[in-house]
Amino acid sequence: MNNNNDYYYYSMCMKYITLLCGLIDAQELLPGSCNFELSTCGYISDPEFGGWSINEEGHLIMVDSAIMQDQERAVLVSPVLDQQDWSCVRLVYQITGRGCLHLHLRPHSDNFDYQIWTADNASDSWLIASVDLANSTIPYQILLEGRPELGLGNSVAIFEIHIVPGYCIECNFEEHHLCGYSNTWNPNVNWYVGGVVGEQEHNQRGHYMYVDSVYAKHFQEVAKLTSPMTTVPMAGCLTFYYQRDQEKGNIFSVFTKDQLGHYEEIWRPEVYSTASWILVSVDIKALHPLEVVFEVAFNSAHGGYVGIDDISFSPEFCHTDTEPTFDPSIANCDFERDLCLYHEERAETKSWIRASVKANAYRSGDHTTGTGCFLLANTHYTSRLGYVGRLHGPFLPGNLKYCLRFYYLLHGFRKVDNALSLYIYDEHNVAQEKVWSLADMSRDMWTQVEITYRKPMVSKVVFVSICKNFWECGLVAIDDITVSMGDCQITTGSLSRQCDFESGVCGYIQDKTGDKADWLRVRGHTPTFYTGPRGDHTSGVGYFMYIEASLMRPGHKARLLTSDLWGSSSTQCLIFYYHMYGSGTGILSVFLHHSSREQDMLLWRRQGEQSISWMRAMVEYHCDAQHQIIFEAIRGPSLLSDIAIDDIRFKRGLCEDPGDGTSYSGFSEYFNEIEN
């Protein structure tokens, strides 16, 4: 590192040393905390990647592109942490130039590192991130992955890491970092730190946050104080103290704000003036990542002031009449065993029937496994003039936002105008709204539908299929109905072990040494007729990985490797979907690779044409050393040999249906020819 960089970081440290060096004197620091003044506190650089280095003068640890050589990233690994209670990581960091910083969680007895926070915003000053770590009985490590881009002046630096008990949204405003709360800057009205030593606040001497109208110049000038974004689902009691002296017409409210920017008011005071600090308790359900926003609006310079202090959170609801978090999964159904809680309008009609299709080259099986059951309407028993089939779901509580997902498949329709529609009915069986109807002409391919809705009353979903003319009707199927809380566009805050290839290849690696071709990431149907899928398994219109047989010779192979997975004492279940359709289809195999073995271990294999459907595979394995999973596809003797995979997922523990974990099945017609 050059002297200019040394001086820059040293001066920056001196600028913030008084603010951050004694960051949380009054608050307990948990193991894993470090200010990098005298040592790395047990943090080490992973030797497989670039190294982090301590700047002794500036008391920080950093990775600079100038010393990265050929490495793309540097990974800093914490000591093993065994903290079973909820905690919050407060990270003071800076990205200079171009680069990014990722925070990962590495649970023991698991194969994966899970990314729980990321940043790529360059800054001339230090920034603070607050990341929740949910309570867990499993020891873990945290990893900080710095990725400065190539070129001069790109670096990632960490000033200190503090891990404190409790939730990240909790704050007493005694420390200079203000617990990561951010102030939406307004030139006239803003939240400020109030109180000094010797001044009495609501129950102790200290600091609080306040906003004053003295500089307000316009109507409805707004000051917003925003908490850090939650990173894991949370439900419980939010409490805080407030003091207020405002004229009527001025506003003080507390909102939640989700990742899409949608606000929802959760509390507003009933009085404009308080004689002292008042304790407020509000139930909050953060099933998705969100922020808590304290908002004050003034109409004039005489609007008054508002103060808040001691924000805390408890996992227990503060009001006994608060409904517990509703589990909408009662409306889920994959139709493998029965209709679940779905029923027809008239039981005697039998308009919708459970059906299954044996996997073959002519008809698609169900979406769940390729060999299971789905629900079918407009069969030859019901395709008659004037036919209407209604499938009713279970009732769900009102005033909640739901995300409904399901898959549909069409076969043989000339017109699709009335093939399938979705309505919301109230508890009196009266249709309130038509929320979706079929608009595209896709055939013989499972396609996903996502609908977000909210109704004030108890309601249910009803699937409707109408056949007005026998000669224009075909078959319509639905499968894998799921209902969850929140907006479909917002991802859950839980750890994910799945790759659907929608945003990229998830760190999967092409084998450039042992094969003659690559796996390709595409969407839509493959270019050669009578082989390959019509669409992906995830949504029908998304991405998947496949081998294009026309670019390969018979016997050529393509190998796709996971990134390094950590060894585990637990059995692991690998779940994925594969597509092997075409009269010349070759071999798809899954191998386990690690350096202590001369040969890769075969875990699973399929050979020859399997079905026109996506099929599910579930494979159990155990490995207590660092390893990789390999997906290997071998081209068959003809161009009709495309092989595809999608929706790869790893799950700790035994597979639900290990019967699919046999090492080999399929036709053996070309097996020896391809292997040789």
pLDDT for the residue 197:
42
Quote the strand ranges of 5-86, DSSP E: 44-45, 53-55, 60-64, 74-77
Q: Is the pLDDT of residue 664 over 60?
A: no
636: nearest Cα among 667, 589, 606, 670: 670
Strand (E) or helix (H) holding 434:
strand 431-437
Q: What per-residue confidence (pLDDT) applies to 207?
A: 92
Of the segments 49-63, 525-539, 649-663, which one has the largest average pLDDT value? Answer: 525-539
**pLDDT greater than 60 at residue 670:** no
Handedness of CA 371, 373, 377, 381 (dihedral sign): positive
Amino acid identity, position 640? L
If you average pLDDT over residues 134-144, what whole number do you get? 92
Q: How far is 83 from 141, CA to CA, in rounded Å?
A: 10
Q: What pLDDT band is residue 139 in, cutting at 50, 70 and 90?
A: very high
pLDDT at 336 over 90: yes
Strand 601-607 versus strand 665-666 pairing type = parallel
Strand order in the sheet with 459-467: 343-344, 387-392, 459-467, 421-426, 431-437
Same fold, 328-485 and 498-652: yes
d(CA 313, CA 310): 10
For the stretch 246-299, pLDDT in tens is 999 899 999 999 988 999 999 999 999 999 999 999 999 888 889 999 999 999
How many other C-beta atoms lie within 10 A of the C-beta of residue 585? 31
Is the pLDDT at 350 greater than 90? The verdict is: no
Say what the pLDDT of residue 418 is: 78
Q: Is the pLDDT of residue 322 over 80?
A: no
Q: Please report the pLDDT score of residue 190 as a whole number.
A: 92
DSSP string, 350-403: --EEEEE----SSS---SSSSSSEEEEES-TTT--TTEEEEEE---B-SSEEEE
Overall fold of domain 178-196+205-314: Jelly Rolls (2.60.120)
pLDDT tens-digit series, residues 459-494? 999 999 887 766 667 788 999 999 998 899 887 656
Q: What distance in Å separates the CA atoms of residue 285 and residue 423, rounded to the nearest whole number?
A: 27
The CA R_g of the chain, rounded to the nearest whole Å, is 29
Q: Dihedral (C-alpha) 78, 81, 86, 91: value to the nearest 10 degrees?
A: -20
Res. 321 pLDDT band, cuts 50 70 90: confident
Which three-class secondary structure string do you get for 489-521?
CCCCCCCCCEECCCCCCCCCEECCCCCCCCCEE
Return the CATH number of 498-652, one of 1.20.1070.10, 3.40.50.720, 2.70.180.20, 2.60.120.200. Answer: 2.60.120.200
pLDDT, mean of residues 205-221? 88
pTM: 0.84
What is the pLDDT at residue 508? 93
Residue 4 has pLDDT above 50, yes or no: no
pLDDT tens per residue, range 140-194: 999 999 999 988 889 999 999 999 999 999 999 988 889 999 988 788 899 999 8
Beta bridge partners of 464: 390, 421
Which whole number is the average pLDDT over 532-553? 95
Residue 91: partners with Cβ closer than 8 Å, 6 or more residues away = 103, 117, 128, 129, 130, 131, 144, 158, 161
Question: What is the Cα–Cα distance from 126 to 160, expressed in whole angstroms?
Answer: 10
* Tokens linked to 73: 């990233």
Tell me what percent of the residues of the chain surpass a pLDDT of 70: 87
**Are 236 and 265 spatial neighbours (Cβ–Cβ below 8 Å)?**
no
User: Tens of pLDDT along 559-582?
Assistant: 999 988 988 888 999 999 999 999
For residue 359 the two structure tokens come to 């996997």
pLDDT of 663 > 50? The answer is no
Which tens digit of pLDDT belongs to each residue from 245-259?
999 989 999 999 998
Q: What tokens appear for 182 in the block?
A: 């951010």
Classify strands 290-298 and 304-314 as parallel, antiparallel or unpaired: unpaired
From CA 559, how far away is CA 519, in angstroms rounded? Answer: 7
Determine the pLDDT at residue 535.
94
Lowest mean pLDDT among 398-407, 477-486, 655-664: 655-664
Q: Which percentage of the chain shows pLDDT scores above 90?
A: 60
pLDDT in tens, 26-47: 568 999 999 998 889 999 999 9
Residue 523 has pLDDT above 90, yes or no: yes
Distance CA(75)–CA(370), nearest Å, equals: 41
Tell me the C-alpha distance between 238 and 210, whole Å: 19
Which CATH number is 44-165 given? 2.60.120.200
If pLDDT is split at 50, 70 and 90, which confidence band does 666 have?
very low
Q: Residues near 329 by Cβ (< 8 Å), separated by ≥ 6?
A: 482, 483, 484
Q: Output the pLDDT for position 633.
A: 97
CB atoms within 10 A of CB 400: 18
Tell me the pLDDT band of 66, cut-offs 50, 70 and 90.
Answer: confident
| For the chain, domain boundaries | 44-165, 178-196+205-314, 328-485, 498-652
Strands (E), 97-233: 99-107, 114-119, 127-133, 140-148, 155-165, 182-184, 191-194, 208-212, 221-226
CATH 2.60.120.200 fits 328-485, yes or no: yes
